[in-house]
Chain A
């Protein structure tokens, strides 16, 4: 296979992945500096968001350093009553909510643990994105069927599956922490272990693609040695 040109999808994908990878690497570097600095100085004005819902470092709103954690909420009746007059419904119910809880940072083990989690999550993302980058590069170069690509796809597949398990565990513990320390009027914080079956299936699909790459490598080798 010949190398793909500038306008090809694989070329554009490589460019996009490079941009994403270097951006996240930059954010990770800044986060590491901030976390280390926080051990020695009083941080103000920085929002850190652990996994999920986002990996952002956002500008402060009120000069208070805040942290955002994922939470699950149950709604106490009658707070959760929902009505839709146009549909003739006046006894609907909001039962469960998933969202995020933002509160001012207090230096201590909780903030440090979340900062470390965030850095690990970004590092893990960089590793997965790096594997994908390497695969797309070989596709761009016209040599996709290599044993190394099959290994990379397998790593990505298992990474997605294990990543989803870790996210579910982290969300459970973050929600448990919130449950123990916070109270919200009309709402009840709950801790749930929610595993996304869709994400697990995605990982499995990538594992199947890894097997396709393995078979393709064998065929490519045979083809190259066919005179």
Chain B
């Protein structure tokens, strides 16, 4: 998919685990894993807002467009 989710890099950089992040933003680990592995079809603004808040980043840091 052309839109890449750079969640793994950000988690490593912020020294957070997937479980911790899932607890903080209030979504299941399964859903977060779907996002991390680029299998998600869509993301809600509320989820994007929560991710940016907890990871202290901009949406552009989290989402990247790649030419396939």
Residues of A near any B CB (own CB < 8 A): 221-222, 225-227
A225 to B47, CA, bound (A): 13
Residues of B within 8 A of A221 (CB): 41
A218 to B45, CA, bound (A): 22
- Which of under 10, 10 to 19, 20 to 34, or 35 or more describes the interface residues of B? 10 to 19
A227 to B32, CA, bound (A): 7
Does B12 make an interface contact (CB < 8 A)? Answer: no
**Contact string against A for B residues 3-43, beta-carbon threshold 8 Å, 1 for contact and 0 otherwise:** 00000000000000000000000010001101100011111
Residues of A within 8 A of B32 (CB): 227
Q: In the complex, how many angstroms separate the beta carbon of A224 from the nearest chain B beta carbon? A: 9
Does B67 make an interface contact (CB < 8 A)? Answer: no
A221 to B34, CA, bound (A): 13
Interface centre among B27, B40, B41, B47 (most CB of A within 10 A): B41
Q: Cβ of B44 and Cβ of A226 under 8 Å apart?
A: yes
Q: In the complex, how many angstroms separate the beta carbon of B38 from the nearest chain A beta carbon? A: 11
A221 to B39, CA, bound (A): 12
Residues of A within 8 A of B43 (CB): 226-227
A220 to B27, CA, bound (A): 18
A222 to B27, CA, bound (A): 17
A221 to B47, CA, bound (A): 19
Residues of B within 8 A of A227 (CB): 27, 31-32, 34-35, 40, 42-44, 47
Residues of B within 8 A of A225 (CB): 34, 39-42
Interface centre among B39, B42, B47 (most CB of A within 10 A): B42
Q: In the complex, how many angstroms separate the beta carbon of B65 from the nearest chain A beta carbon? A: 18
Q: Which residue of chain B is the closest to A222 with respect to CB atoms? A: B41
A74 to B34, CA, bound (A): 70
Q: Which residue of chain A is the closest to B39 with respect to CB atoms? A: A225
Q: Which residue of chain A is the closest to B32 with respect to CB atoms? A: A227
A225 to B42, CA, bound (A): 7
A227 to B27, CA, bound (A): 8
**Contact string against A for B residues 53-66, beta-carbon threshold 8 Å, 1 for contact and 0 otherwise:** 00000000000000
Q: In the complex, how many angstroms separate the beta carbon of A6 from the nearest chain B beta carbon? A: 29
Q: In the complex, how many angstroms separate the beta carbon of A222 from the nearest chain B beta carbon? A: 5
Q: In the complex, how many angstroms separate the beta carbon of B46 from the nearest chain A beta carbon? A: 10
A225 to B34, CA, bound (A): 7
Residues of A within 8 A of B27 (CB): 227
Residues of A within 8 A of B39 (CB): 225
Q: In the complex, how many angstroms separate the beta carbon of B31 from the nearest chain A beta carbon? A: 5
Those 6 A-B pairs whose CB atoms lie nearest each other, nearest first: A225-B41, A226-B42, A227-B35, A227-B31, A227-B40, A227-B43
Q: Which residue of chain A is the closest to B40 with respect to CB atoms? A: A227
A227 to B43, CA, bound (A): 5
